[in-house]
Structure 1
Amino acid sequence: MEGLDALFNPESVAVVGASSTPGKVGHDIFVNILKGGYTGTLYPVNPKAKSIASVRAYPDIQDIPDPIELAIIILPPRLAESAIKQAIEKGVKAVVIVSAGFKEVGGEGLEIEKRIVAMCREAGVRVVGPNCLGVINPNADVRLNASFSARMPKAGNISFISQSGALCTAVLDFAADKEFGFSKFVSIGNKADVDELDLLRYFHADPETEVIMLYIEELQRGPEFIQAVKEITGGDRPTPVLAIKSGRTSAGAKAAASHTGSLAGSESVYDALFAQSGIIRVESINELFDFGTAFAYKNESALGKMRRKVPLGNRVAIVTNAGGPGIVATDMTITSGLELATFSDETVEVLKSHLPQTANFNNPVDVIGDAAQDRYENALWAVIRDEGVDGALVILTPQSMTNAIGTAEAIVRIAQRSHKPILCCFMGIIDVSAGVKYLQEHGVPVYRFPESAAKTFGALYRYSRWLNRQHLAPFTVKHDKEKAKAIIAEAVEKGQTYIGEIGGTELLKCYGFNVLPTVLADSADQAGIAAEEMGYPVVMKIVSPQIIHKSDAGGVVVGLNSRDEMVEAFTTIVENARKYSPDAEITGVLVQKLAPRGKEVILGMTRYPIFGPLIMFGFGGVFVEVFKDVAFRLAPLTRNGARNMVRSIRANKLLSGYRGAPKADIATIERMLVSLSDLVLDHPEIKELDINPLLVHPEGEGVTVADCRLILEEK
């Protein structure tokens, strides 16, 4: 965070490349700072101009007689490099490079950017950009608009970080329409030096920032990002982080040898990263602002401290004067992971005493279309005090008896007395505008449609779960790392990039996995002897480096119970394999003890640049790519992370004793996920891995590896 204060709170700014020609970036940025009412001292630098916008210009930054804290550079790459060298000699603390033509175009531009960053780091000077919009601080003590956006936003308590400069101008325009305020606003462009994590740490420490918004195109830090942001979003002084990620598609999944590799696209990496660091992901700019308003919502606690309003649970009360919007809100509440609260008998009795007989006294509470403010006030006060209610949605539609401003005043009075969140939906524009404005002025979140209010409440609840999550003690594990290292080293020595079940089961055994007795046979007789030694029933599988998905090749036979069946199966498997892949090298046939029955899940891993191993867990067997009911997390995986991972898939119900079925051994699944994380971190040679299926037995009876495959990095 060192040096970042000079970006947002500089006592003096030099605009190097200021222009006297309106419409040029160098002119507009200088004028934006000037007209924005910057409270520090501003200097234009231009060797060809006497003045810019009636302010004396200097030919060189070193000609300025006073100290300079922040230099805004608006010059092409070669000139920018020499200007920054002079700025460093002048003693600047930070630099913002607005101009483009650097890393994003490659070649000489990239080399110049590297040299600039190197000399700035040596001098302890922080750099934002190149190729960025600039920085904005609307605070009345600073009023710095060092950007090419002519709009200075209102001061507020939300800071915004964007990789895209073009998006920033749209966001500022959007914010102005909603009268939405910012604490700080920054575009980071190429991220040559200052990146998202630097700014997240800075804004977390900033007393004027309550919520951080983030627009991401791609991150350049992996595990370090998760650990740092986890502390920001859920530590002793939590700051919510809301993120929108560009390009949300399944693109990026590889044509891979493993199921995990084929399912794990780049979005899986970001979903995992957000889940593990406590970042709330949003789907649109509109949603970003909807959520931001509610996350900044605070009131004074009994101890006199301002406290963020997040629900302790997901039970919501709805108060409305129209049935239709109430039904919409109910539907959206349920799809947002919430549930309608059930009122106590006392609450229902209070509602009946205040509302007409035609009203609905259960959830959602319909106060009827002719409701004046007193009905809203009495109904809301009754439900918000109910111990079975965690928060409320208030819906108002403009009707003949509606008093929007009076109802808003009543809501604010109750909101100031309750620690529970109250979100409002005042439908319409003209007739409810006074009420909407009053709610906004008093910090109560208000939306135009019930869907927005319900989705926002769902986001608050997700964040509440993150803040209040339990922290399990880590597993006590002991791995045979040396033996595992030797198995991988032998494969690498032989030039193998694929480790099948024989080496794979031995490797997994080193990390605590329960594996089955397994023998490689190169004849039907050998297969029969092996089966008799380990005991029937057995499974037979083809072994070939070229045939990874054995079932596809007809290379698996299950439930063999005699020597005759073994001989017949051996012949069938080999013939099927040769038909499937005539050039495949057939090493033999694997004879394996048939595993006891269990529910089929998959554990897997694929390795990503920057982010490292991405762990997968999901519904397994042959259906993994049909249902794609999987979850991803980045290693290292904690016990908490493993538990959340298991609970996040839809098939979790099948593991938890659904409809009287015995509960599966979920605790052992969690332990094995952590062991898998340890395995792939200890051995970076492993590129991809599948354990599919992992058979999960009833609670207390463990799990069994039924099949596995590992792909090693090519040398």
Structure 2
Amino acid sequence: MASLDDLFYPKSLAIVGASTSPLNFGSGFFTIAMEELGYEGKVYYINPKHVGELINGEKIIGSLDEVEGPIDVVYSCIRASLVPELVRQCVRRGDKFIIVFTSGFSELLTNEAIALENELRSIIRGSSTRIVGPNCLGPYNPSMGVGWNTGISEPILKKGNVAFASQSGGHASTLLRIAAGRAIYFTLGLSFGNQIDLNSLDALEYFAQNQDTEVIALYMEDTGSAKGSDFFKALKKITPKKPVIIWKGGQTESGARAAASHTGAMSGSFNMWRSMTKQAGSMIVRNGDEFWDAIHLLATLPKNKWRICKNLGLLIPGGGHSVEGTDAFTQFGFNVPVLTRETQDKIANILPSVNTSVKNPIDLGASGMLETVFFKTLKFMAEDPNVDLVINFQPIDWIAMGEAQFVGVGYSRYAARSYGRLVKKLEKPFIQLSPIFNFDKKTAQVFSTFIEILRQKGIPHFTSMRRLAVALSHLNEYVQFLKHDKK
């Protein structure tokens, strides 16, 4: 059986169905990506109709059989009816992995399409060749330059600590598209489609043993060719060591029907999934926002600051925002406790007595513009025994205005680095809450710089009180599981 190392770290690739035609967008997912991502291994472009034409400076050849020796990863970008013969050829040659990008199999829910998919299974049975898919995009490894074209102008190649696998190619692409805007970066990824061979369990176990991966994220509609019992058994072994975030597709009867026509998935009861995943210590989320937010929080907040955070310290300028924040977090079961008299006195001593509040939420009024007052207040709040976590409310367009009006170019960098220096001294978690009220060109420029520096400093950022509350709830559940597991 081929090692998954050959899938994620391939020395050679072949794209069958490669074409220079702009209308052939299928093969373009991969021909464009290998160039843009900087893949340095050998790439073979296969298409008997375009022999001799050039792609990325390489001549198209007519058949895999013109290549001497096995290929690590073969991409199928041809019609579904032609795929069985390609798979036979790969099995005969000893090629290691076939990425069946081609759709038109069990997701069509027709007898003919299901039979075609079963034929692929039978062809590889007993061989060393493995199939990823059908109906998928295959592996993603930024360190190797392996992946697919997501349509973004500059592919994200920064080293991360998150590994993802997705039954949906669209969701896999979205994760890569939103990476920079949410400060999430990846070690490895996999789009596995219908999972007729390589499946969610294979991905989970491989990611678990990858040393660079600290957080595992899965979008699943079912467990594919893996037994559900085997998947949950592995999940229970892995979650005490690494957090696993699962977005389960097909949560309703209608959603399950949509999943079947999407990847041929048999979704199963969502209540059963939720029960099993929670018993195994995984976080299960309901939608894309929850998925991305939980990934960001777990991937950014340093492990030594993972703790149950029920009592929140809020630094929020303005009475209206303070009331909104208190309501938002308490509705999700959090507390906004009054600070101790000692902490209130410390803060009151550096503030004017009017247009300020020192109980929690703290409102510094105009004094919040004074750097010394601002950072001393955050420090005092973090030291309060009634507080588990500090949240700083600072809309991103306020930071953009500061850049433009008060300190000039570099203010956002300075502010983010100052928070970084502060959190080094704090034992408790610190989270930046920066809603976007006016997203103009200047704010967009400031935002990307600001959140990237925060990420580097181990400071999660959120743009919504509600979404932060949901993400914190997932963190609390996971930390509670870890504590119970140790007993």
- TM class by shorter chain equals 0.7 to 0.9
Q: Is the 8 A contact 2:391 2:432 kept in 1?
A: yes
Aligned residue for 2:114?
A: 110
CA distance in structure 2 between the aligned counterparts of 1:463 and 1:360, rounded to whole angstroms: 34
- Mark the CA change 1:292 to 1:16 in structure 2 (over 3 Å): closer, same or farther: same
Say which structure is richer in helix: 2
CA distance in structure 2 between the aligned counterparts of 1:211 and 1:121, rounded to whole angstroms: 33
What secondary structure sits across from 2:418 in the alignment? helix
Q: Is the 8 A contact 1:424 1:444 kept in 2?
A: yes
Shift of 1:45: 1.6
Q: Is the 8 A contact 1:242 1:288 kept in 2?
A: yes
* Aligned partner (choices 339, 360, 364) of residue 363 of structure 1: 360
CA distance in structure 2 between the aligned counterparts of 1:274 and 1:144, rounded to whole angstroms: 31
Shift of 1:107: 3.0
- Mark the CA change 1:404 to 1:450 in structure 2 (over 3 Å): closer, same or farther: farther
Shift of 1:211: 1.7
- Mark the CA change 1:410 to 1:36 in structure 2 (over 3 Å): closer, same or farther: closer
Shift of 1:129: 0.2
- Mark the CA change 1:196 to 1:404 in structure 2 (over 3 Å): closer, same or farther: same
* 2:248 is the alignment partner of 1:245: yes
- Mark the CA change 1:308 to 1:241 in structure 2 (over 3 Å): closer, same or farther: farther
- Mark the CA change 1:314 to 1:175 in structure 2 (over 3 Å): closer, same or farther: same
Shift of 1:65: 3.0
What secondary structure sits across from 2:118 in the alignment? helix
What secondary structure sits across from 2:368 in the alignment? coil
1:218-246 deviation line (CA, Å, top 9, x unaligned): 33433322221122222xx2x22222223
* Aligned partner (choices 135, 149, 163) of residue 159 of structure 1: 163
Aligned residue for 2:472?
A: 457
Shift of 1:455: 2.6
Further displaced range: 452-461 or 344-353: 344-353
Aligned residue for 1:137?
A: 141
Q: Is the 8 A contact 2:308 2:479 kept in 1?
A: yes
- Mark the CA change 1:223 to 1:441 in structure 2 (over 3 Å): closer, same or farther: same
Aligned residue runs from structure 1 range 455-604, under 5 A: 455-469=470-484
* Aligned partner (choices 322, 325, 329) of residue 321 of structure 2: 325
Aligned residue runs from structure 1 range 398-417, under 5 A: 398=398, 405-417=413-425
CA distance in structure 1 between the aligned counterparts of 2:32 and 2:101, rounded to whole angstroms: 15
Aligned residue for 2:231?
A: 225
CA distance in structure 2 between the aligned counterparts of 1:419 and 1:70, rounded to whole angstroms: 47
CA distance in structure 1 between the aligned counterparts of 2:362 and 2:253, rounded to whole angstroms: 41
Shift of 1:356: 3.2
- Mark the CA change 1:52 to 1:83 in structure 2 (over 3 Å): closer, same or farther: farther
Aligned residue for 2:92?
A: 89
Q: Is the 8 A contact 2:2 2:96 kept in 1?
A: no
- Mark the CA change 1:64 to 1:99 in structure 2 (over 3 Å): closer, same or farther: same
Q: Is the 8 A contact 1:291 1:459 kept in 2?
A: yes
Aligned residue for 1:315?
A: 311
Q: Is the 8 A contact 1:319 1:365 kept in 2?
A: yes
Shift of 1:121: 4.3
Q: Is the 8 A contact 2:137 2:191 kept in 1?
A: yes
* Aligned partner (choices 395, 420, 428) of residue 428 of structure 2: 420
Further displaced range: 113-122 or 78-87: 113-122
CA distance in structure 1 between the aligned counterparts of 2:382 and 2:44, rounded to whole angstroms: 55
* 2:27 is the alignment partner of 1:26: yes
* Aligned partner (choices 170, 183, 186) of residue 190 of structure 2: 186
* Aligned partner (choices 295, 298, 302) of residue 295 of structure 1: 298
What amino acid is aligned across from residue 200 of structure 1 in structure 2? L
- Mark the CA change 1:457 to 1:367 in structure 2 (over 3 Å): closer, same or farther: farther
- Mark the CA change 1:308 to 1:232 in structure 2 (over 3 Å): closer, same or farther: farther
Shift of 1:68: 1.6
What amino acid is aligned across from residue 280 of structure 1 in structure 2? M
Shift of 1:212: 2.0
CA distance in structure 2 between the aligned counterparts of 1:273 and 1:376, rounded to whole angstroms: 45
What secondary structure sits across from 1:339 in the alignment? coil
CA distance in structure 2 between the aligned counterparts of 1:35 and 1:449, rounded to whole angstroms: 34
CA distance in structure 1 between the aligned counterparts of 2:368 and 2:13, rounded to whole angstroms: 56
Aligned residue for 1:350?
A: 346
Q: Is the 8 A contact 1:226 1:276 kept in 2?
A: no
What amino acid is aligned across from residue 316 of structure 1 in structure 2? L
Q: Is the 8 A contact 1:423 1:457 kept in 2?
A: no
* Aligned partner (choices 216, 220, 228) of residue 216 of structure 1: 220
What secondary structure sits across from 2:39 in the alignment? coil
* 2:207 is the alignment partner of 1:203: yes
* Aligned partner (choices 61, 71, 76) of residue 74 of structure 2: 71
* Aligned partner (choices 309, 317, 338) of residue 334 of structure 2: 338
CA distance in structure 2 between the aligned counterparts of 1:271 and 1:230, rounded to whole angstroms: 14
* 2:464 is the alignment partner of 1:444: no
Shift of 1:29: 2.0
What amino acid is aligned across from residue 244 of structure 2 in structure 1? V
- Mark the CA change 1:341 to 1:297 in structure 2 (over 3 Å): closer, same or farther: farther
- Mark the CA change 1:250 to 1:203 in structure 2 (over 3 Å): closer, same or farther: same
Query: Aligned-residue CA RMSD in angstroms?
Result: 2.8
Q: Is the 8 A contact 1:73 1:80 kept in 2?
A: yes
Q: Is the 8 A contact 2:37 2:157 kept in 1?
A: no
CA distance in structure 1 between the aligned counterparts of 2:311 and 2:125, rounded to whole angstroms: 51
Aligned residue for 1:275?
A: 278
1:92-118 deviation line (CA, Å, top 9, x unaligned): 222211101222234343333333334
Shift of 1:15: 1.2
What secondary structure sits across from 1:184 in the alignment? strand
- Mark the CA change 1:354 to 1:118 in structure 2 (over 3 Å): closer, same or farther: farther
* 2:47 is the alignment partner of 1:50: no
What amino acid is aligned across from residue 482 of structure 2 in structure 1? L
Q: TM-score, normalised by structure 2?
A: 0.83
* Aligned partner (choices 374, 377, 397) of residue 376 of structure 1: 374
Q: Is the 8 A contact 1:424 1:453 kept in 2?
A: no
Q: Is the 8 A contact 1:344 1:388 kept in 2?
A: yes
Shift of 1:251: 6.4
Aligned residue for 1:149?
A: 150
What amino acid is aligned across from residue 252 of structure 2 in structure 1? T
- Mark the CA change 1:180 to 1:451 in structure 2 (over 3 Å): closer, same or farther: same
- Mark the CA change 1:419 to 1:201 in structure 2 (over 3 Å): closer, same or farther: farther
What secondary structure sits across from 1:340 in the alignment? coil
CA distance in structure 1 between the aligned counterparts of 2:104 and 2:234, rounded to whole angstroms: 32
CA distance in structure 1 between the aligned counterparts of 2:300 and 2:179, rounded to whole angstroms: 17
Q: How many residues align?
A: 448
Q: Is the 8 A contact 2:246 2:282 kept in 1?
A: yes
Shift of 1:39: 2.2
1:42-84 deviation line (CA, Å, top 9, x unaligned): 1112223213413122322231135421111222234222222
1:628-685 deviation line (CA, Å, top 9, x unaligned): xxxxxxxxxxxxxxxxxxxxxxxxxxxxxxxxxxxxxxxxxxxxxxxxxxxxxxxxxx
Q: Percent identity?
A: 27
1:248-299 deviation line (CA, Å, top 9, x unaligned): 336699xxxxxxxxxxx92212221222222222233223222211110244
Say which structure is richer in strand: 1
Q: TM-score, normalised by structure 1?
A: 0.58
Shift of 1:357: 2.7
Aligned residue for 1:485?
A: none
What secondary structure sits across from 2:239 in the alignment? helix
What secondary structure sits across from 2:245 in the alignment? strand
Q: Is the 8 A contact 1:14 1:43 kept in 2?
A: yes
* 2:127 is the alignment partner of 1:123: yes
- Report the structure number with the largest CA radius of gyration: 1
Structure 1 gap segments, 5+ residues each: 254-264, 300-306, 473-715
